[in-house]
Amino acid sequence: MNYQKILEDIAEEIKPHLKDGHVADYIPALAKVDPEQFAMSLTLFDGTQYHVGDTETLFSIQSISKVFTFTLALKFYNNSIYKRIGVEPSGNPFNSLVQLEYENGKPRNPFINAGAINMTDALVKHYKNAELTYKEVLNFIKEIADDNSISLNDVILKSEKEHGYRNIALANLMKSFNNLDNDVSEVVDIYFKHCSLEMNTKMLSRTMLYLANHGEDPISKKTHISQRQAKRINSVMLTCGHYDASGDFAFNVGLPGKSGVGGGIVAVVPKLMGISVWAPALNEQGNSLVGTMALELFTTKTGLSIF
Ligand code: DON
């Protein structure tokens, strides 16, 4: 298959839509990003990469980090993690408080904000130290991206902290239901740091290889998680990776995927490749509008959905 040509065709087809949607503005630093940017990368199991657009440009990974914190929490806790977290789609916005209240502080899944804050708490419990948790998650991301340069953006971190009212509320609500072990501000702080990491589509498409290959990195040959755990993460990405638009994403794209409010999306083609796309303007549910469109075009043109 001529992947390069397919990517270039997609870049042409999405062009008229780069003006659609809106960049996230509830984190003011994200509102400053030029919305008319686009990048898409594929990484195959032998390390071959295909790119189109602004693939060197770093952007805020935001909720894509939730895939990595869930991976490590599942690795360390295995099935006991489900005492504190569910695996059902929420059908609600990613930062909603209502469901968490009537479901007694147990987040629906690890990909909504409450769920990711909870996974961060589990990791702080495991590592027994908040700063160490940040560093270990970053080290894991550097390893699977095969890139040591990854770091966080201080301006975005500060902006997240200053406007993190809902996340702090979610963490407090979980604490009130005894579903948060550590100090609220400590946990939320580390969650913000992971969201503020910056990467590009080249790096992010590389990070998905362990999920495409039953938990083992096909290039380094390192086993990060078991085959069963990889199946679970992919399943939750398919059913919950795009919040209240997860059904829509599964319907139109047909791949496990995870979005971030910085406009990035990662997706997995099992046994074949990792994909990442970036276009900062979002749809109403907070997922990249053009990014979703590009992935839909990709599975339509290649027939590479999981179905
Ligand atoms: O906590 C937040 O609201 C952001 N740091 C992350 C949310 C996000 O990326 C939602 N994704 N589409």
pLDDT for the residue 304:
98
Cα maximum dimension of the chain: 54
pLDDT for the residue 169:
98
Residue 254's Cβ-side half-sphere holds a number of Cα atoms within 13 Å equal to 13
Cβ of 291 less than 6 Å from ligand 1? no
CATH code where residue 77 lies? 3.40.710.10
pLDDT for the residue 191:
98
pLDDT for the residue 101:
97
Cβ atoms of 69 and 81 within 8 Å: the answer is: no
Which H or E run contains 12?
A: helix 3-14
Residue 214's Cβ-side half-sphere holds a number of Cα atoms within 13 Å equal to 4
Give residue 260 CA to ligand 1 midpoint distance, Å: 6
CA distance 198 to 27: 15
Predicted confidence pLDDT, tens digits, the chain (307 residues): 999 999 999 999 999 999 999 999 999 999 999 999 999 999 999 999 999 999 999 999 999 999 999 999 999 999 999 999 999 999 999 999 999 999 999 999 999 999 999 999 999 999 999 999 999 999 999 999 999 999 999 999 999 999 999 999 999 999 999 999 999 999 999 999 999 999 999 999 999 999 999 999 999 999 999 999 999 999 999 999 999 999 999 999 999 999 999 999 999 999 999 999 999 999 999 999 999 999 999 999 999 999 9
Inter-residue long-range contacts of 130-136, CB under 8 Å, 24+ positions, other chains counted: 130/182, 130/186, 130/187, 130/189, 130/190, 131/190, 133/190, 134/190, 134/193, 134/194, 136/72
Question: How far, in Å, are 34, 52, 85, 126, 216 from residue 73 at the CA level?
Answer: 34, 33, 11, 9, 17
Q: Flag whether 9 is in a domain.
A: yes
Range of the domain at 68: 3-302
Q: Flag whether 100 is in a domain.
A: yes
Q: Flag whether 307 is in a domain.
A: no
Q: Flag whether 144 is in a domain.
A: yes
Cβ of 60 less than 6 Å from ligand 1? no
Q: Flag whether 117 is in a domain.
A: yes
pLDDT for the residue 217:
98
Q: Flag whether 191 is in a domain.
A: yes
Q: Flag whether 110 is in a domain.
A: yes
Q: Flag whether 157 is in a domain.
A: yes
pTM: 0.97
pLDDT for the residue 64:
98
Return the best residue to mutate from 25, 59, 63 for the ligand 1 pocket (most ligand atoms within 8 A of CB).
63
Which H or E run contains 198?
A: strand 197-199
Give residue 80 CA to ligand 1 midpoint distance, Å: 26
Cβ atoms of 33 and 23 within 8 Å: the answer is: yes
Give how many domains the chain has, as a whole number: 1
